[in-house]
Amino acid sequence: GLLGQFTYPNLAITAPKYRAIVGDAPNRDATAWRRIRVPALVIGNPVDPTHPLFIAEELAAAIPGAKLAEVPSKSMDKDGYVHGVQAEIGAFLTSLLA
């Protein structure tokens, strides 16, 4: 998927998106993560160069009671990724209703 972006006909649109992704973060303040008081699910995979698994692990460890779920890489197993994400979100939401 990522390599295909480099052959996209309109690189002027694609290039800025990837520059923005590298510098993007929902919140870089780890102390703020510790103040989260709602159930949280953090999903990651070991083969994501844009969002490395270690960041998901740090985020889940910092959020009190957060659940870390590891799913297959979308680039290596798209169906497994989709199924894994859906299953993890479904199980997480179900656990909130129990």
pLDDT in tens, 15-70: 777 777 666 666 778 899 999 999 999 999 988 877 788 989 999 999 999 999 99
Q: Which residues, 6+ apart, have CB-to-CB distance to 81 below 8 Å?
A: 45, 71, 72, 73, 74
Q: What is the pLDDT of residues 57-82, one digit of tens each?
A: 999 999 999 999 999 998 889 999 99
Cα gap 17→49, rounded to integer Å:
15
